[in-house]
Amino acid sequence: MDTLPSDLLLVIDVQNDFCPGGTLAVADGDAVVPMINRLAQRFAHVVLTQDWHPAGHSSFATSHPDAAPFQTITMDYGPQTLWPDHCVQGSAGAAFHPQLAIERAELIIRKGFRREIDSYSAFYENDRHTPTGLAGYLRERGLKRIFLVGLATDYCVHYSAVDARRLGFETVVIEAGCRAIDLAGSLASAWTSMRDAGVQRLADLS
């Protein structure tokens, strides 16, 4: 498959805390790194996202007395899964995987930096309403079709892909460049919701 000058590779959260040894490790998460490095060479434009929480973030189970990681609570913006502390601003866990070699990336978009609200999506925070600014950036740059890879398939990749469609971008998830958390069937339901939103699922970009 050929890529176009108006295509973008959007690399979601390839950070140490989501890789083996990290605090919210995704099984085999680091396997996406060489794959994404290779893929990136085929795109004229690459943008990275970075999960970037202040210490004491409201998505951390440790911020809620009596709560446990992976439990879901109700926040004023809706349900929120609670996570182990991860991707704390400036920490080693929040850094990109050391082998991720995409110096060419044109933008790094940080998300989840407000203490009181989480942001899975690269486009909107978890109230599904507060924009990160990425849509405006992509439109001003004339980028039309978004290929997504990264971590995790069922959370940040999923929410970003559905929002990209909602915003009118052609959207493709490259499965070989993603790995999932898969909490209580979340991976299967993520693929269903991506399909229903009109997201294309591509096994690989061969």
User: Do 5 and 148 meet the contact criterion of CB atoms below 8 Å apart?
Assistant: no
- Selected catalytic residue, list 19, 87, 156, 178: 156
Query: Which CB sits closer to ligand VGL, 4 or 92?
Result: 92
**Annotation marks residue 156 as catalytic:** yes
Q: What's the half-sphere exposure (Cβ side, CA atoms, 13 Å) at 15?
A: 26
Q: Does 51 bind ligand VGL (CB under 6 A)?
A: yes
Q: Among the candidate windows 1-9, 37-45, 97-105, 149-157, which touches ligand VGL by CB under 6 A? A: 149-157
Identify the three-state secondary structure at position 158: helix
Which CB sits closer to Zn ion, 93 or 112? 112
- Which residues from 72-101 bind ligand VGL, rule CB under 6 A? 83
Question: Residue 11 and residue 150: Cα distance in Å, rounded?
Answer: 5
DSSP character at residue 155:
I
Q: Are 144 and 5 in contact (CB under 8 A)?
A: no
The answer to whether residue 118 is catalytic is no
Site size toward Zn ion, by CB under 5 A? 2
The three-state secondary structure class of 173 is: strand
Is 76 part of the annotated catalytic residue set? no
Binding site for ligand VGL (CB under 6 A): 13, 18, 51, 83, 120, 151-152, 155-156
